[in-house]
Every structure is written in C-alpha cells, then in structure tokens.
Homo-oligomer: A and B are copies of this chain.
Amino acid sequence: MTAPPVLQNVKVAVDNCIFTVVDGRLQVLLIRMRKKPFEGMWALPGGLIDEGESLRDAAARILKEQAGVSGLYLEQLYSFDGRKRDPEGRVVSVAYYSLVPPVGLALGTTPKYEAVRFWDCDERPRELAYDHEAILGYAQARLQAKVQYTNVMWSLLPPRFTLRELQTAYEGVLNRGLDKRNFRKKILSLGLLRASGKKSKGSRHRPAMLYQFASQAPTAVEVF
C-alpha cells in the first residue's frame, strides 16, 4: 500500500476442474492444447480473465463454454503462481472446481482446443500442461473432504437417482467401499431426500425407488 508501481506486469488466469461421476468413477474434463508451448498435451480448461469479469464469472464462463452448463456448483479452490508460461510477465492462476451431473452436457467444440473429453481420474494422462497436475490433485483432495461434511454430492447427480447410485457416487469420490445398510440409514436420517415413483427400464432385476433432493441449496451436514 505504498506508492504502487504503475505497471506490475502480472496476468490473472482462471483454471477450472470440472468433475462428474459416471458409474461410480470420478471423471474430470480435460482439453488438449493446440498452441505451441504445450502443444498436444492435456490440460484443465482455463484462460485469462476478461476485462470487467469477476473471477467467479470467468470460471462460470469456462464451465459454460466447455461443458455447456451453468448455474451449477462452483467453488474457488486456491491461487497458484508457480507457472512462468508467459515470457514477458508472470501469471497468477486462480483455480476453481465445478460439479456437474453426467447428463445434459454439451462438451465444447470450440476450435480453441484440439479435443475436449472427460477422463476417469484414475486413467487420465499422467502429465498435464503447466502445473495442472498439482491443481487437479488439490481439487480432488478438496472434493473428497467436502462431500463428507456437506451435501455437494447433490450436484454430481441427475435430478432422480437410486440410493445405490448415490452410494456408488460416494464410493467413487471417496475411493473406498461403504456398507449398504449403514449408508442408507445415514443418508435417509438426514432428511434431505424425497422419494417418488419406481424405476424399471433396462434392469432385469427388482426396480429401485427413485429419490430426489428436497433442496438444492448447499447445506453443511455431517455425511460421514
């Protein structure tokens, strides 16, 4: 707060870890870069913030552009300044993560990137561009912690789902198995779910009750 230099020569970027869960496997959206320094490498979608755009707006824009959805769960993660991608000046990267359900997505087909797809977090390319390895690791740790004391898991699921699907999603994020009966007891005791009709299509076994969330608002509850 002393007299600031007129030119600080710093740029601010936002990177977004977009997660979903398919069949109990945690997936993250990666893009394949076209431009020179990291050509052909996979990376998190991101970019410099626009003039007059807030950090959160920038993260939401990236989410919209790449996954075709908006209004979903979006949380700031951490700010990293390790990367020196730009020879003339440093870049501070503010990382966000988003949670989207595995349906209703329209993956961005912008010419900006060579490819866009979800990767299973356990099978993704080992090396990512910039410091995105670190960012993604951080995001996974945060998500893992967060599903255990909030209801953010809601955001990873479609509007209606079976208890088994919900449990499988938890198992995928937490990377460990859960006891079926204890899980049901716990989840139902929270009183955040509402039942509806039954499911039949495409199962050659007993149909399961479909549930939906009573409220979409983020709530801090001890799930585990």
Binding site for B on A (CB under 8 A): 1-2, 4-5, 8-12, 33, 35, 43, 46-49, 51, 54-55, 76, 78-79, 81-82, 86, 92, 94, 112
A47 & B12 in contact (Cβ 8 Å cutoff):
no
B49 & A112 in contact (Cβ 8 Å cutoff):
no
A5 and B92 contact, Cβ closer than 8 Å, known pairs A11-B10, A78-B76, A81-B54? no
B92 & A55 in contact (Cβ 8 Å cutoff):
yes
Residue of B nearest to A38 (CB): B1
CA–CA, A82 to B79, complex, Å?
16
For A43, what are the chain B residues with a Cβ–Cβ distance below 8 Å? 1
For A5, what are the chain B residues with a Cβ–Cβ distance below 8 Å? 48, 51
A78 shortest CB reach to chain B, Å: 6
For A82, what are the chain B residues with a Cβ–Cβ distance below 8 Å? 54
